Amino acid sequence: MVDGATAGLFLDAAGMKALGAAIAIAITGYASAIAEKDIGTAAIGAMAENEGLFGKGLILTVIPETIVIFGLVVALLINQ
């Protein structure tokens, strides 16, 4: 007897969960990469002129990392 919710799909519930988690991680990872790319190059540009900006540059560069952390949290919640 096939479950109504999964009828016509290739994956069962566990498979869909895994796929959902993968999408959550992949897209947020990609998003933070795009955000960090611009901030990182900008930080390097500023550092090239003024080395004292290393600390600030580093912090600003990793702020978009929160996006992928949210993705990770969502992935973990999905798989609970």
Using CB under 8 A, list all residues that contact other proteins.
Answer: 34, 38-39, 41-46, 48-50, 53
CA distance 2 to 20: 21
Nearer to other proteins, 53 or 74 (CB): 53
Q: How far is the CB of 55 from other proteins (least distance, A)?
A: 15
Query: Which is closer to other proteins, CB of 50 or CB of 79?
Result: 50
Residue 60: exposure state from Cβ atoms within 10 A (0-12, 13-18, ≥19)? middle
> CA-to-CA distance for 65 and 69, rounded, in angstroms?
7
Query: Closer to other proteins at the Cβ: 22 or 42?
Result: 42
